[in-house]
């Protein structure tokens, strides 16, 4: 059971989509880093202090994820790319079954 994974994708600024399998419960930033997803820099290592793990979630997922806490909302003010309704810091998102098949969009720039 602890080996359960979900299939997710990352749409890169050049339009390509990279698909990976992420273990349930792993944070999305770590899953992206382990799989060498371009554009996820994660300079602070997941401490919610850099905003270089910024991703756009599809609208369909917004009601299924834990809302950003105050710390994340503050950092989302600092993103290099434009902030959108689906903007989240991927280090603050854990892989859940609701994310299965989702395509996350990687912003044009992170810093
Ligand atoms: S890795 Fe720095 S805020 Fe997410």
Q: Give the pLDDT confidence of 21-52 residue by residue, as tens digits.
A: 999 999 999 999 999 999 999 999 999 999 99
| Residue 27 domain flag | yes
Q: Is the CB of 29 under 6 A from ligand 1?
A: yes
Residue 22 — φ and ψ, nearest 5°?
A: -120, 135
Q: Kindly report the average pLDDT of the chain as a whole number.
A: 95
- Ligand 1 geometric centre to CA of 101 (Å): 23
Report if residue 64 sits inside a domain. Answer: yes
Q: Which atom of ligand 1 is nearest to the CA of 92?
A: 4
Q: Could you tell me the two tokens for 28?
A: 């999305």
The C-alpha atoms of residue 84 and residue 103 are separated, in whole angstroms, by 16
> Can you list the alpha helix ranges (DSSP code H) found in the chain?
28-34, 70-75
Residue 45 maps to a domain? yes
Q: How many domains does the chain have?
A: 1
CA distance to 5, 49, 69, per residue, from 26 (Å): 9, 19, 18
Residue 111 lies in a domain: no
The predicted model scores a pTM of: 0.94
Q: What is the pLDDT of residue 2?
A: 54
Task: Give the pLDDT mean for 53-81.
Answer: 96
Mean pLDDT to the nearest integer, 65-89: 96
Nearest to 39 by CA among 27, 21, 51: 51
Cα(89) to centroid of ligand 1, in Å? 6
Does residue 51 line the site of ligand 1, with CB under 6 A? yes
Q: Output the domain CATH number for residue 12.
A: 3.10.20.30
Report yes or no on 86 lying in a domain.
yes
Q: Which residue has the CA at smallest separation from atom 3 of ligand 1?
A: 48
Mean pLDDT in residue range 61-69: 96
The atom number, within ligand 1, closest to the CA of 75 reads: 3
Residue 55, domain extent: 5-105
pLDDT of residue 1 exceeding 50, the answer is no
């Amino acid at each position: 059971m602890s080996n359960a994974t979900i299939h997710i994708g990352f749409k890169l600024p050049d339009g390509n989509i990279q698909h990976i399998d992420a273990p349930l419960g792993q944070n999305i930033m770590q899953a992206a880093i382990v799989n060498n997803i371009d554009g996820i820099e994660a300079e602070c290592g997941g401490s919610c202090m850099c905003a270089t793990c910024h991703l756009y979630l599809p609208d369909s997922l917004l009601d299924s994820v834990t809302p950003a806490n105050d710390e994340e909302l503050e950092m989302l003010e600092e993103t290099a790319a434009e902030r959108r309704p689906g903007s989240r810091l991927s280090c603050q998102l854990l892989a859940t079954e609701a994310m299965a098949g989702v395509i996350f969009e990687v912003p044009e720039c992170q810093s």
